[in-house]
Amino acid sequence: LHTIIREGLYDKEFTRDWTVGFDRLQEHIAGNTPEWGGAITKVPAELIRKAARLYATTKPSAIFRCVSLDTIHDSIQAC
Query: How many Å separate Cα 10 from the centre of its chain?
Result: 11
pLDDT at 64: 72
Give, in order, the Cα–Cα distances in Å from 30 to each of 12, 64, 68.
18, 24, 30
pLDDT digits (tens, 9 = 90+) for 13-62: 999 999 999 999 999 999 999 999 999 999 999 999 999 999 999 999 88
User: Does the structure show a pLDDT above 80 at 70?
Assistant: no
pLDDT at 49: 98
Which residue segment(s) compose the domain that 21 sits in? 2-78
Q: How many domains would you assign to the chain? A: 1
Domain CATH for 32:
3.40.228.10
Residue 42 to residue 45: CA distance in whole angstroms? 9
